[in-house]
Amino acid sequence: MNTTPITDATFALILALLLVAPLAIAGVALVNTGLGRCRSAAQALLGNLAIVAVSAIVFALVGATFLGGAGHVLQLAGKPWNWAGTGPYLLGGLGTASPHAQLALLFEFLAVALAAQIPWGSGADRLRLAAGCAIAALLAALVFPLVAHSVWGGGWLSQLGVNFGLGAGFLDGGGAASVQVLGGVCALAVVWIAGPRKGKFPKEGLSTALPGHNAVYVLFGCLLALVGWLAWNVAGALLWLHAPLSALPVTAVNTLLSASGAIAATFAVTRFRFGKPDASLCANGWLAGLVASSACAGIVTPLQSLFTGVVAGILTPLLVELLELALSIDDPSGAITVHAVGGLWGLLAAGIFAPQPGQLVAQLVGISALLGLVLPLVYLFFWLLNRFVAFRVDGDGERIGMDLHELGGGAYPEFVIHRDESYR
Amino acid sequence: MKYAGLLVMPAGFFLTLAALILFPDPAMRAAFVLCGLAVEALGLVVAVRGHMAARGESRL
């Protein structure tokens, strides 16, 4: 882990940015809620709050230990492979740690909360609150610390440059790998284990459209997410890429351009495909652009960032449709496409456009670890967790809605809640 | 079938790791890293096909 001293001014700047970064969490929470059904809205938003709380507590008690410190090192083929942290227990010595270490820990607290939120959106309308909290606890205790240590904590992925001459090692300034792709593969595992919503894939015909209940939440969530993402990417560039202050405006511009290119591309694709632009897919495109920027905003030029966003925006509506219609994957928030695919594309783009030789191979090795190691591991953990804490609500709960079933009251008590049959 | 696919994916990752250790030549290393990713993609396709088959059976 880098312990480069930072000036007081830089410390204050990063701290201020990290105090704004939770707006990304708020934005994703609103998107998750708006893309679900109205009879599960209160449970969805409460779940987002509960997940943030559980992940913070568990990360403080357990996860931070596996992330910080010098790390456990395996010697393999004459090279050190630093795979897990050896930090102090229960955040011991945090007050006297170096300013960089304190800010890094704050960044990681926010990162684990955002990562744990992502699968919650995919499990909307059928994932139990207890299951969402259990998933957050597992991510915060074990999975996130191991991934984040490899990428940010001086672990083996960050050392690919030193040990194997692969560019500057695996680069992930804004958490595209540790947060977005990790959250996205967790979303895939949750969707596979919990199964689709009742009535989504009927015996006859194509899948049923179950549209999100509030486009205003979704689109306002996108605007909130932009503010959070700007802070996130700039703070990440300072903390993990050690960018000079003069490079920060470009990082912010790149973030905005990536999101803008993405929503413009999604707007055009949905306009061409359906005759009119689709609001929820445009929101997904915007988020995919932000996610892609997490990997490369601090590395690429503005034009390259715009290109990255445009590609993310073209991929998003096509993949959302492919997952639902061809692959029978019911992902209400589109998290698999937005966070997993958007994050992977951003990581790849960072490798393609980075000036250092060997950077592309370093990024490919990181992508290989996320797909070949993290996805099967997460699926195994969740499969086991599902034996103890059932992910899916019972049929009766799904019929009456998660709000009434889990909370005893709805988010909109004065609204008439439609039965399933009214959608058919 | 889904489990078979998920078991193939780590094999691709280990191929990537082996490429790092065994091939100092950049071109050879890059080629084997790509092979590792291809194996992972194959595993993912098998896992997704397994999911689709399971969903198809549950609809009957």
Note whether residue A175 is domain-resident.
Answer: yes
Tell me the C-alpha distance between A366 and A347, whole Å. 9
User: How confident is the model at residue A309, as a pLDDT?
Assistant: 97
**Inter-chain residue contact A360 with B52, CB threshold 8 Å:** no
Residue of A nearest to B24 (CA): A164
Selecting from A77, A79, A373 the residue whose C-beta is nearest the C-beta of B13 gives A373
**Inter-chain residue contact B37 with A375, CB threshold 8 Å:** no
User: How confident is the model at residue A2, as a pLDDT?
Assistant: 53
The two three-digit tokens of residue A31, written as one number: 């998107």
**Inter-chain residue contact B2 with A192, CB threshold 8 Å:** yes
**Inter-chain residue contact A373 with B10, CB threshold 8 Å:** yes
Which of A206, A323, A364, A368 is most worth mutating to test chain B (most B CB atoms within 10 A of its CB)? A368
User: How confident is the model at residue A418, as a pLDDT?
Assistant: 61
Is the Cβ–Cβ distance between A201 and A207 less than 8 Å?
yes
Q: Quick one: CA dihedral A67, A70, A75, A79, positive or negative? A: positive
CATH number for the domain including A39?
A: 1.10.3430.10
Number of neighbours of residue A74 by Cβ within 10 angstroms: 11
Note whether residue A422 is domain-resident.
Answer: no
Chain B residues whose CB is inside 8 A of the A160 CB are: 20
Chain A residues whose CB is inside 8 A of the B59 CB are: 201-203
Chain A residues whose CB is inside 8 A of the B31 CB are: none
Domain ranges of chain B: 2-59
Chain B residues whose CB is inside 8 A of the A368 CB are: 12-13, 16, 33, 36-37, 40
Note whether residue A421 is domain-resident.
Answer: no
**Inter-chain residue contact B10 with A358, CB threshold 8 Å:** no
Domain count of chain A? 1
The two three-digit tokens of residue A374, written as one number: 């993290």
Residue corresponding to tokens 């790849």 = A348
ipTM of the complex model: 0.95
Tell me the C-alpha distance between A312 and A290, whole Å. 9
User: How confident is the model at residue A151, as a pLDDT?
Assistant: 94
Is the Cβ–Cβ distance between A99 and A11 less than 8 Å?
yes
Tell me the C-alpha distance between A299 and A409, whole Å. 48
Q: For residue A240, what are the domain limits?
A: 8-412
- Among residues A255, A332, A335, A328, which one has the least CA distance to residue A296? A255
- Among residues A338, A240, A346, A363, which one has the least CA distance to residue A293? A346
User: How confident is the model at residue A4, as a pLDDT?
Assistant: 64
Provide CB contacts within 8 A for A68, sequence distance 6+: A1, A85, A86, A87, A88, A101, A104, A105, A149, A153
Alpha helix positions (H), A59-159: 64-67, 99-122, 129-138, 144-151
Note whether residue A420 is domain-resident.
Answer: no
Tell me the C-alpha distance between A190 and A392, whole Å. 10
Is the Cβ–Cβ distance between A405 and A396 less than 8 Å?
yes
Residue A387, classified by CB atoms within 10 Å of its CB into exposed (0-12), middle (13-18) or buried (19+), is exposed
Is the Cβ–Cβ distance between A139 and A209 less than 8 Å?
no
Tell me the C-alpha distance between A422 and B10, whole Å. 45
3-state class of A69 per DSSP? coil
The two three-digit tokens of residue A256, written as one number: 């905005």
Q: What phi and psi values does residue A374 have, to the nearest 5 degrees?
A: -70, -45
Selecting from B9, B37, B51 the residue whose C-beta is nearest the C-beta of A364 gives B37
* CA terminus-to-terminus distance, chain B: 19
CA distance A93 to chain B (A): 36
Write out chain A's pLDDT in tens, 424 residues: 555 678 899 999 999 999 999 999 999 999 999 999 999 999 999 999 999 999 999 999 999 998 877 778 888 888 888 888 888 887 887 888 889 999 999 999 999 999 999 999 999 999 999 999 999 999 999 999 999 999 998 899 999 999 999 999 999 999 999 999 999 999 999 999 999 998 888 877 778 888 899 999 999 999 999 999 999 999 999 999 999 999 999 999 999 999 999 999 999 999 999 999 999 999 999 999 999 999 999 999 999 999 999 999 999 999 999 999 888 899 999 999 999 999 999 999 999 999 988 999 999 999 999 999 999 999 999 999 999 999 999 988 888 999 999 999 888 887 766 655 545 4
Burial track A284-302 (b if 16+ CB lie within 10 A, e otherwise): bbbbbbbbbbbbbbbbbee
Alpha helix positions (H), chain B: 2-22, 26-59
User: How confident is the model at residue A344, as a pLDDT?
Assistant: 97
Tell me the C-alpha distance between A287 and A345, whole Å. 13
